[in-house]
Amino acid sequence: MRIGIWTLTKDRLDYTKRCSYALLKSGHGGVEHLFIDNGSQDGTVQWLDAQCGNNFHKIINNENKGISAGWRQAFFYFKAQGFMPEDMIIKMDNDCEIKTDGLINKLIKFNKLVGPGVIAVPRCTGVKGYDSIESELFPPFTFTRTDQVGGIFWPCRLFEMEWIIHSAIRHRDSMNCNLMRKMGYKVGFIDNLMVHHMDTTAGQGKKYPEYFADERPWYRY
């Protein structure tokens, strides 16, 4: 199984560095990490230029195309790279910091145990919690089903990503979760895996309004 991770950036270079370094420390040399930059002006583009090579890739947009367009750009990038429908694609926001050692390998193991029909994300500190519906054991993992999960670390298979980009007009957490539940999926958290949200969405909206600005529907691109 190939693993592709995509991260959208719009300034906030300090977050992007922490996100990238934490992924490298978590351990999985085969991950292909794609950064999609939406017109950063704080040195992010120059930092990405210096990092690129091997499994580190970038797409540089001259304007802020918005979060929704990022889903579409990432999908077509990985498809062009020969990723197969069953390969795993992970949306990891640039303010997401992996805290569990070996998280990617453990995520792969969990998905092999549960099979298709589940969107399962790591537990996340730094954000509000969601009401639990039920828990299931997939030793050594515990999966807790909820109505919604946050989108800062969102793993799915390439064919599921295709459903999302063609079915959702705007890619907000609640909309994506509702879509997957309508497809018969369970949505929830893997309690044994942890990531950290460096800043709340509300806080980011105040400090970095340009990051969320111009979140146009994907079909305009």
Give the domain CATH number at 62: 3.90.550.10
Confidence of residue 137 (pLDDT cuts 50, 70, 90): very high
What pLDDT digit, counting tens, does each position of 96-121 carry?
999 999 999 999 999 989 988 999 99
Averaged over 130-156, what is the pLDDT? 90
Q: Does 65 score more than 70 pLDDT?
A: yes
The boundaries of the domain holding residue 145 are 3-212
Q: How many CB atoms lie within 10 A of CB 201?
A: 17
pLDDT for 18 = 93
Q: For residue 221, is it within any domain?
A: no
Q: For residue 218, is it within any domain?
A: no
Q: What gap in Å lies between CA 47 and CA 116, rounded to an integer?
A: 37
Q: For residue 219, is it within any domain?
A: no
pLDDT for 221 = 44
Q: Which has more pLDDT, 119 or 29?
A: 119
Q: How many domains does the chain have?
A: 1
Q: Does 8 score more than 80 pLDDT?
A: yes
Q: For residue 61, is it within any domain?
A: yes
Q: For residue 62, is it within any domain?
A: yes
Termini Cα distance of the chain: 29
What pLDDT digit, counting tens, does each position of 154-171 carry?
899 999 998 888 876 667
pLDDT for 170 = 66
Least confident of 43-47, 95-99, 202-206: 202-206
Q: For residue 140, is it within any domain?
A: yes
Q: Does 215 score more than 60 pLDDT?
A: no
Contacts of 94 (CB under 8 A, 6+ apart): 7, 8, 9, 12, 15, 16, 19
Least confident of 20-24, 142-146, 192-196: 20-24
Averaged over 41-66, what is the pLDDT? 89
Q: Which has more pLDDT, 150 or 182?
A: 182
> What's the 3-state SS for the chain?
CCEEEEEEECCCHHHHHHHHHHHHHHCCCCCEEEEEEECCCCCHHHHHHHHCECCEEEEEECCCCCHHHHHHHHHHHHHHCCCCCCCEEEEECCCEEECCCCHHHHHHHHHHHHCCCEEEEEEEECCCCCCEEEEEEECCEEEEEECCCCCCEEEEEHHHHHHHHHHCCCCCHHHHHHHHHHCCCEEEEEEEEEEEECCCHHHHHHHCHHHHCCCCCHHHC
Q: For residue 92, is it within any domain?
A: yes
Q: Which has more pLDDT, 217 or 169?
A: 169
Tell me what percent of the residues of the chain surpass a pLDDT of 70: 86
Q: For residue 68, is it within any domain?
A: yes
